Structure 1
Amino acid sequence: MKLVLSEEQQELRGAVRAFLRAASPLPKVREGFDPQVYARLNGELGLSGLIVPEEYAGAGADMTELTVVLEETGAALLPGPFLTTAFATVALTRVRDKELLTGIAEGRVLAALGGPLTGPLTGPLTGPGGAAGLTCDGSAVRGTLAQVLSGMEAGVLVAPARSGDGAVLVAVDLTGPGVSRTALETLDPTRGQARVELNGAPARVLGPRPDIGDLLCVALAAEQLGVMRAALDAIVAYAKVRVAFGRYIGSYQGVKHKLADMHAKLEQAESIVRYAAWSADESPDDLPEAAALAQAYVGRACFEVARDHLLLHGGIGYTWEHDAHLFYKRAKADEVLMGPPRVHRARLATLLEL
């Protein structure tokens, strides 16, 4: 088991961090999705094709490298469809669709993943997009996805659907006929969602629906780790300069203890994410437990750190002008994206036969 990043992975992290600090600082995050940032993200760093196999013009990297990148995009609160495109890419690497994988690797395709990627196709939310009500007759898809992450920015929808051959994965051009998209008012202002209605929309069947729910849990946990780290760094920096009653607030015992608790949660979360990424690449048999643990612990810990980060800022943290509420809202939106923590705790208990 390897929980420490290699030299190459640390260099990747440094490059992504430096790029995002310059191209998408927090003041710019408030402006929303910027296609130029995404074009540079792919053109200069090739991140869109990070886990795309080399035969499809990608870098052929593993989940560990993807988690390194997602930690940095999470810390920067990068707006737009990077996370959902990464989700879609994970699915497409399982069905090996050349057209879409090449388009994603070259930066021409922004994809959104909708519907549950594990469990039944009708039922509770088990993945990004809401309970899937899509049916496919081989060339057209009908149905509605209630909440598609970055559904207004993406150009292609990748989603599971019911067909005569069972559960299949389909691709739909979101700019084509038979597609209706409605932007939703969401908690997180940095990353929107859309209601997508398909009424006989032309579709292409990519293959059987892959079971990638565990991989998505790991990817999301990596973003949550980045949110935690950035929130803690911000409040530590603030505690060193904010003076109250003639003393820096970081010198007060109550603040120091809270910061120590937040740091402990971050350290545990990092170990869990690194282990889950290692399991995805090296030990698939351990992945279900590792993925369930990642969302059971990291999702809640991320929200708690973001919440305390806001509270320790005092009154300024509650204002719209301050960045604290952006971290708070991203943390809460991510916490429930793959289902609330109690779902993953219950699954983990089942897997461990408790």
Structure 2
Amino acid sequence: MHCTPALERSTAALCRYSATRLPNVCSVCPASRGSYQFTRSRGRRKEMRFNLTDDQQDLAQHAGRFFERARAADHEAVLAGKTTADPAVWGQLTGELGLAGIAVGESDGGGGGTLVDLAVVLEAAGQSVSTQPLLASAGAAVAALQAGVGDQARKWLGGLAAGELVGTWADPASADDVVRAEQGPGGWLLHGRIAHVPHAEQAGLVLIAAHTPQGERIFGVTRGTTGLDVHPESALDPTRPLGTIHVTGAPAMLAHEHLDAAALRRARAVPAVLLAAEQAGVARGALHLALSHARERQQFGRAIGSFQALKHLLADMLVDVETARDVARYGVWSLTENADDPEELAAMTHAHVSDCAVRVASSALQVLGGIGYTWEHPGHLYYKRTLTSARLFTTVDRELDRLAVRIGIDGPS
């Protein structure tokens, strides 16, 4: 088995990464080992090591520098009250760097990478609290289209990979969000609503999981379609706009000719696990922000970071950051290895990483003091991102309740 070729469309900023091969996590090809390396020392059980390959470390560094440079423009737009990401930054991210298609197969116009590669980029995006719709488009929308087999899905994948389309997946996260599809003489029509859809206003393609007489299927509705209405929500996090999607007889196209339930369950696990990777990056960014302030802020003639109380607080933050990173990377790696229970994996990963990230961002505000609460300082953006991400796609409480029932803990009698 050979490793996949590189992202040929990447620019010189990622030249070393694109000049080599993106590793697949497999035990057959020695050159492909790395991203989360493992051996077969215990029968057929795969043991992972928490270290990235040299190429993925380069990818992380270059992506981090890109998002750091873009952060000023991103946050300036947020402070100005803009509800959509800077299109110029998105153009560089997708057209020049080719990162929108990093987890899309080469036959569909992508870079031929894995979810691990995408997670590395999302960590870097989270560290700068990027406003770009990378998670929604390159993560959730791509996962929805890759869930089944269909010519229409492959066509849309090509558009997403090239950055010509911004996509989002409107997947019902609560009992109140229901979409039903009915087949009429002219094709499929959708009826229902779904709330808290990331980047709904910016998306040119909305993928919707809807109920049909044959079971749940994934449909695509393009922007401007009659019967599709997007209502922006007043979200706590200004860096990730959310919207409520209403479909009232909206014509839709079926994404796949074939879609089985197991593939749909795995596809639904992907956004939650990738969100955890982004959350791990947000936590690290909040820690760096707090560390920088603790080194520079002087009180009683010395840096506040030298005081024992802050040392302990920062040490606890580091533990949460490292734990969140490892749990998130394990979750992504497990999905690439076709985990037996992707729903349970996603729930545990998202729940644990979200708790870590919220604690870190909250502690960062304690280190920053009053400056962290001002509108001009980015400290509050990290805190707001962690709070809303803990409730995006699902909620931590709901995930833990569902896990408790599955292992036989039904709650208090």
TM-score under structure 1 length normalisation:
0.91
Deviations 1:108-140 (A, max 9, x none): 1101110238xxxx726xxxxxx2333342422
Q: Which amino acid aligns with 1:42?
A: T
The answer on whether the counterparts of 1:52 and 1:89 sit within 8 Å (CA) in structure 2 is yes
Residue of structure 1 equivalent to 2:147: 94
Aligned mates of 1:249, 1:82 — CA distance in 2: 37
Question: Which one of 333, 344, 347 corresponds to residue 292 of structure 1?
Answer: 347
TM-superposed deviation, 1:249 = 0.7
State the Cα distance separating 1:348 from its structure 2 match.
3.9
- Structure 2 CA distance for partners of 1:77 and 1:136, relative to 1, 3 Å: farther
- The match for 2:220 among 171, 175, 182 is 171
**How big is the shift at 1:287?**
4.3
Q: 1:188 to 1:57 in 2, by over 3 A?
A: same
Quick one: distance in 2 between partners of 1:290 and 1:112? Answer: 22
CA contact (8 A) 2:180 2:210 kept: yes
The partner residue of 1:154 within 203, 215, 226 is 203
- Alpha carbons 2:351, 2:390 under 8 Å: kept: no
**CA gap 1:146/1:271 in 2 versus in 1, 3 angstroms:** closer
Given candidates 6, 10, 14, the residue that maps to 2:61 is: 14
Higher relative contact order (CA 8 A, sep 6+): 1
**Whole-Å separation in 1 of the counterparts to 2:336 and 2:196:** 30
Residue identity matched to 1:241: E
Equivalent residue number for residue 52 of structure 2:
5
Residue 127 (structure 1) aligns with: none
Corresponding position of 1:145: 194
2:242 to 182, 188, 193: 193
3-state DSSP of counterpart to 2:113: coil
Structure 1 pair 116–18 and aligned structure 2 pair: CA distance change class (3 A): same
Give the AA of the match of 1:94. A
1:339 match: 394
Question: Do the aligned partners of residues 24 and 136 (structure 1) sit closer, same or farther apart at CA in structure 2, a change above 3 Å counting?
Answer: farther
Deviation at 1:276, TM superposition (A): 1.1
RMSD across aligned C-alpha pairs, in angstroms?
A: 1.9
Aligned partners of 2:280, 2:77: CA distance in 1, in Å? 19
Match of 2:179 among 133, 141, 149: 133
Map 1:1-354 to 2 at 5 A.
1-25=48-72, 27-28=75-76, 30=78, 32=82, 33-85=85-137, 86-96=139-149, 97-116=153-172, 123=175, 131-137=177-183, 138-207=187-256, 208=259, 210-211=264-265, 212-285=267-340, 287-350=342-405
Q: Distance in 2 between matches of 1:249 and 1:24?
A: 27
User: How far, CA to CA, are the matches of 1:254 and 1:339 in structure 2?
Assistant: 35
CA shift for structure 1 position 80 = 3.6
| Matched residue type, 1:92 | L
Whole-angstrom CA distance in 1 between matches of 2:322 and 2:408: 27
Moved more, 254-263 or 88-97: 88-97
8 Å Cα contact 2:179-2:209 kept in structure 1: no
Is the partner of 2:210 in helix, strand or coil? strand
Q: Distance in 2 between matches of 1:70 and 1:274?
A: 11
Q: Percent identity?
A: 34
| CA–CA distance in structure 1, aligned partners of residues 194 and 332 of structure 2 | 29
Paired residue type of 2:170? G
Offset at residue 281 of structure 1 (A): 1.3
CA change 1:139–1:288 in 2 (3 A) is closer
Q: Does the aligned pair in 1 maintain the 2:172–2:194 contact within 8 Å? A: no
For 2:203, the aligned partner's letter is A
Change (3 A) 1:141 1:133: closer
Counterpart Cα distance in 1 of 2:341 and 2:234? 38
TM-score by length of 2: 0.79
1:168-190 Cα deviation digits (max 9, x unpaired): 11000122212222211110111
Whether contact under 8 Å (2:140, 2:271) holds in the other structure is yes
**Which has the higher mean CA deviation after the structures are superposed, 249-258 or 340-349?**
340-349
Amino acid at match of 1:297: H
Q: Number of residue pairs matched?
A: 344
Q: Report the residue type matching 1:115 in the other structure.
A: D
**Is the CA contact (8 Å cut-off) linking 2:279 and 2:389 kept in structure 1?**
yes
Within 2, Cα distance between the matches of 1:6 and 1:278? 13
Query: What amino acid sits opposite 2:102 in the alignment?
Result: L
Task: Give, in angstroms, the shift of residue 95 of structure 1.
Answer: 2.1
- Equivalent residue letter for 2:285: A
